[in-house]
Structure 1
Amino acid sequence: MSKRFPGRKLSFVRLTIMVVAIAVVAGAGLVGWNRFQDAQAAAASPSIFAGYVDVTATPTYAFESPVSPQAKSVVLSFVVADHSNPCEPSWGGAYGLDAAAQSLDLERRAARLVQQGGHVAVSFGGQANDELATVCTDPGKLATAYSDVVQRYDLDTIDLDIEGSALENVASIQRRAVAIAALQKERLQQKKPLAVWLTLPVDPNGLTAAGRAAVDHTLAAGVELAGVNIMTMDYGSSKNPTETMLAASIRAAEAAQVQVGQAYKDHGTPLGAESVWRKIGLTPMIGQNDVKDEIFTLADAAGLQRFAVEKGVGKMSMWSLNRDATCSPNYPDVTRVSDGCSGVEQGSALFSEVLGAGLLPGTAASAQATAGENSTAKAQMTQTPVVDDPATSPYVIWNESSAYVGGDRVVWRRNVYEAKWWTRGDIPDNPVLAAGSTPWQLIGPVLPGDKPAPTVTVPDGAFPAWAETTVYHQGDRVLFDGHVFEAKWWTRMDSPEAALQGSSNSPWLQLKNDAVEKLLNAASK
């Protein structure tokens, strides 16, 4: 080469340019490879939709009968500390776990949703009542409380909703994180991994200082977070008055994504941008928010859904599925938040369908597992006759000759049904009747461990037998055909038989078992 190009030498400047060029190419290649790895990691975690259900709200929301495919994935809310026993989990402080099974049939309804390919998670905390870790200071009892809920409902996903004063309680945040990390480790050893979402309030600038600290404490304790779910709602004075709810929510999401990414980096596990977005959940409060002037519209929902799909957020949710309906005309003030409607005119549209479009219900793993379980169950049903056993059935076995009134529950072919009105001889699982025609509502399957519900035996003489010629006044109680009835008004010669058959015009009201039991207990004192 020296002969062909005499005198040409590789100068220091040229050498420097060459080295820089090689470094740039190598760096670009490394960046490209990192982005590829980030995209692959993000793709391994599907974006999901799961709407919150307020379990103790009135009227009771029938989540086991989903109104849309997107509503088949639910986050049942909220498990909190029992008012009298701070280390005992309860639903909203109103029902213990056993009471919820009996009064709300919660486990059976959850099982029914899973039968249909749905997914069930549970949220601890919320705005009202006391989250377990804030009042249960015994580490062992706290861990047991969380574990009891996870095992009872066989959960693969839980949500920790920390807000209000609980967010400022650093000691409880640390207790909770330690307990949940231990529970995750235990479940993993049992080959039942547990996904954990941390739900926190935000303003349009992202997580608050207390929220960022909660993320840090949770990661420091070793909790493997599925993600940080931000409540894009109730911004108050932090939102610019001219800013839309959609714009404020997007701004909050973008800020939170940066904050969560920094938290992982600070804890020695840096993530790529796409992977961090998979660690973000968005939960708007549909329709009328708690702040009077804040209304999250269907148009806002469509915009947030587009943003979520574009960014690849890990989870979209909403508060709540109970509220996903237009308020009826008899609800006088739609600016006052309702548990049962959104406060905006929805027409035939559903917020769950708009927000959940393009997202998977539940988790991919749970959906695959459910599909496998359903296939196995169907195969077993075709091979083995279904036999109802009174010894393991929570309610009486349906009988063709017996009459049932609205609210009565029976077991038929290993499923529990509730009568919608008086019926006799109508098979509960008649496949040719439309939902509006059948007198039976399917509640859910008979569960492992079920046993007959306790029956109330009325002792002889506890109530007088109904007599045709006796005059009865409002509040008088009688015994007829083994059932206790109470007079609604003055009556004579009106048999309680009509009430037994479900007539609303009867002067008699049939008392349910729990009411009869209370009367008998009061009489024995």
Structure 2
Amino acid sequence: MRTRRIGPVLAAVAVAAGTAATLATHGASASVNATAALSDNWYASAPYLMPQSNNPPDPAAVMSATGQKAFQLAFILAPSGGGCSPTWDGTSAVSSDTTVTGVVNKIRGAGGDVSVSVGGYGGTKLGQTCSDANATAAAYQQVIDKYSLHALDFDLEEPEYENDAAINNELGAAQILQRDNPGLFVSVTMPGTAAGTGWFGTQLLDKAKTLGFTPDNFSIMPFDGGFNGASSQTSALEAFHSLLMSHLGWDSATAYAHEGFSGMNGKSDAGEYFYQADFQTVLDYATGHGLGRFTYWSVNRDRACTTTTDNGVCSNVPQSDWDFTKYTAKFAGATPPTSGTTTTTTTTTTTPGNGGSCAAAAWSATTAYNGGAVVSYNGHKWTAKWWTYGDTPGGAAGVWTDNGAC
């Protein structure tokens, strides 16, 4: 299953971009501004943000527009040439970093904080290159010390996810860091499936139990696996809840409290679509069941596509800038501003099935459509390619052609 985190393919472009250049100026000093920890609800809601690639936004502007206080900076990897020292994206050594330091200082200067995510979909992970759990922990301790961190996320994906020795190093390192850094908020993120997670995910849970390691949460990523909107995601979360109980021996309340959701906004790499209404539904599920985390990939994508459809820098769904980040702020208990610096770059978003101002009739899940039928859905007009029943426009089945906003 491809649970892709958009890689650093746009790094050169992003560094040249105005936003990235602005952030880099704050990195003139290599020292980071250490601050007291925020309450855990903020680290549990921190959305992912790539600080050096994929056209990074100004985090202070996002904070002002949404009320979000924390961000999950991604990703720490092993050096692309090999070794057991931490780098950003496999290319920039943490030890000599000034650019990300500037981003951290800007967020903290605005009253927020950061978590750092290690791993992700691309590149070589430290768990693969370090000799054992102690060496892996020592590498990550450098990151904690460099940025005076209060939170760390272990994003465990392919191919490391399928490597028993590497996962042993990662979970063992997480346990060591949790012990050596009292109060450190630790999340473990893994691929999601309709069954909650796959075979390697259940092996990961079993290994954590054997080690006696309990993070603040185990989170799944229910996207890039045949998912179709919020109902499929909440179903996966409920299945994962059962796995947490059966594999870790937890009661229902404990399992929910240690369970997390890590979604993807807009169009996924597999062509699934997740709209604002889907985020609201999953948020309602998360708060209603007392889940321990609600986040998404990524803030870099939390804006409408205008001059590009590059999935790394925009969502490919109708939205205003930072719409999806407002849901993580809500999970943390904040009330996002209703007006401010947000710029509307597309038509007003409508709820699924609502035709809004479109002339075509609204799509209905209980109506059969012949090829050529035209409907409206989420502010767009769609044409059926062939006979269909119950297939959501923009969904993984690929039945509908998007004719654009209306």
Q: TM-score, normalised by structure 1?
A: 0.53
2 CA distance for matches of 1:230 and 1:173? 16
1:352 aligned partner: 325
Which residue, out of 69, 82, 85, partners 1:72? 69
Aligned-pair CA distance for 1:60: 2.8
Structure 2 counterpart SS, 1:317: strand
Q: Which runs of 5+ in 2 are unaligned?
A: 1-38, 335-340, 342-406
Residue-by-residue CA offset, 1:399-422 (whole Å, 9 max, x unaligned): xxxxxxxxxxxxxxxxxxxxxxxx
Aligned-pair CA distance for 1:226: 0.3
Which residue, out of 299, 310, 315, partners 1:321? 299
Q: Does 1:134 align with 2:128?
A: yes
Residue-by-residue CA offset, 1:291-334 (whole Å, 9 max, x unaligned): 12x11111111111111111111111010011111111x22xx4
Residue-by-residue CA offset, 1:240-280 (whole Å, 9 max, x unaligned): xxxx3211101110001111122221xxxx3x322321211
- 1:256-275 equivalences in 2 (<5 Å): 256-265=240-249, 270=250, 272-275=251-254
1:253 aligned partner: 237
Residue-by-residue CA offset, 1:387-436 (whole Å, 9 max, x unaligned): xxxxxxxxxxxxxxxxxxxxxxxxxxxxxxxxxxxxxxxxxxxxxxxx9x
Aligned-pair CA distance for 1:346: 0.4
1:506 aligned partner: none
2 CA distance for matches of 1:358 and 1:199? 18
- 1:420-459 equivalences in 2 (<5 Å): none
CA separation of 1:148/1:360 partners in 2, compared to 1, >3 Å: closer, same or farther?
Answer: farther
Aligned-pair CA distance for 1:61: 2.7
1 CA distance for matches of 2:230 and 2:57? 27
2 CA distance for matches of 1:64 and 1:355? 16
CA separation of 1:355/1:303 partners in 2, compared to 1, >3 Å: closer, same or farther?
Answer: farther
Contact 1:77 1:122 in 2 (8 A): yes
Aligned-pair CA distance for 1:179: 2.2
CA separation of 1:308/1:138 partners in 2, compared to 1, >3 Å: closer, same or farther?
Answer: closer
1:235 aligned partner: 225
Which residue, out of 49, 59, 62, partners 2:58? 62
Contact 2:40 2:185 in 1 (8 A): no
Contact 2:134 2:172 in 1 (8 A): no
Q: Indicate the structure (1 or 2) with the bigger Cα radius of gyration.
A: 1
The one-letter code sitting in structure 2 at the alignment partner of 1:314 is G
1:299 aligned partner: 277
1:52 aligned partner: 48
2 CA distance for matches of 1:55 and 1:46? 22
Aligned-pair CA distance for 1:180: 2.2
Residue-by-residue CA offset, 1:144-194 (whole Å, 9 max, x unaligned): 101111111111211111111111101111122222222221223xxxx21
Q: Does 1:207 align with 2:186?
A: no
Contact 1:206 1:255 in 2 (8 A): yes
2:262 aligned partner: 283
The one-letter code sitting in structure 1 at the alignment partner of 2:140 is Y
2:311 aligned partner: 338
Contact 1:45 1:278 in 2 (8 A): no
The one-letter code sitting in structure 2 at the alignment partner of 1:164 is E
1 CA distance for matches of 2:320 and 2:51? 25
CA separation of 1:140/1:306 partners in 2, compared to 1, >3 Å: closer, same or farther?
Answer: closer
C-alpha RMSD of the superposition: 2.2
1 CA distance for matches of 2:134 and 2:265? 38
Contact 1:219 1:225 in 2 (8 A): no
Contact 1:305 1:356 in 2 (8 A): no
2 CA distance for matches of 1:116 and 1:110? 10
Q: Does 1:93 align with 2:90?
A: yes
2:102 aligned partner: 108
1 CA distance for matches of 2:257 and 2:67? 19
**Percent of residue pairs bearing the same amino acid type:** 25
The one-letter code sitting in structure 2 at the alignment partner of 1:315 is R
Contact 2:48 2:74 in 1 (8 A): yes
1 CA distance for matches of 2:331 and 2:54? 31
CA separation of 1:55/1:218 partners in 2, compared to 1, >3 Å: closer, same or farther?
Answer: farther
Aligned-pair CA distance for 1:141: 3.0
1 CA distance for matches of 2:103 and 2:40? 28
2 CA distance for matches of 1:115 and 1:135? 35
Structure 1 counterpart SS, 2:90: coil
1 CA distance for matches of 2:320 and 2:169? 46
Contact 1:49 1:360 in 2 (8 A): no
Contact 2:120 2:155 in 1 (8 A): yes
The one-letter code sitting in structure 2 at the alignment partner of 1:279 is H
2:209 aligned partner: 219
Q: TM-score, normalised by structure 2?
A: 0.68
2 CA distance for matches of 1:76 and 1:154? 14
1 CA distance for matches of 2:176 and 2:40? 23
1:195 aligned partner: 185
2 CA distance for matches of 1:136 and 1:157? 21
The one-letter code sitting in structure 1 at the alignment partner of 2:261 is L
1:185 aligned partner: 179
1 CA distance for matches of 2:225 and 2:146? 36
1 CA distance for matches of 2:170 and 2:40? 25
